[in-house]
């Protein structure tokens, strides 16, 4: 089962509330899901990162780190 599936099933949220998962993981999953949506709608990598950066008021580097973290966990 992937991290994204665990997130959708509520497992990640439960583990976060219990203090067993880093607080950054749920938001990284949000970044990844939104990024995937933008990419499937024809946005380039850079456009998607820029849009997310503005939407969440964080740096592009933070968005890229989140995407990379979740992508690596899916492999």
Which DSSP category does 58 fall into? S
Quick: pLDDT tens for 1-34.
677 788 888 888 888 888 888 888 889 999 999 9
Query: Domain for residue 73, yes or no?
Result: yes
In a domain, 14, yes or no: no
pTM as predicted: 0.81
Domain carrying residue 62:
24-75
In a domain, 15, yes or no: no
Give the total number of structural domains in the chain: 1
Any domain includes 58: yes
User: Are the CB atoms for 46 and 40 separated by under 8 Å?
Assistant: no
3-state secondary structure (DSSP) of residue 24: helix
Residue 46 and residue 39: Cα distance in Å, rounded?
A: 10
> Has residue 6 been placed in a domain?
no
């Amino acid at each position: 089962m992937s991290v994204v599936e665990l997130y959708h099933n509520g497992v990640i949220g439960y583990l976060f509330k219990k203090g067993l998962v880093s607080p950054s993981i749920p938001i990284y999953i949000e970044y990844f899901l939104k990024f995937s949506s933008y990419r499937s709608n024809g946005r380039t990598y850079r456009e998607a990162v820029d849009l997310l950066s503005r939407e969440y008021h964080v740096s592009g580097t933070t968005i890229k780190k989140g995407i990379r973290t979740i992508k690596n966990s899916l492999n």
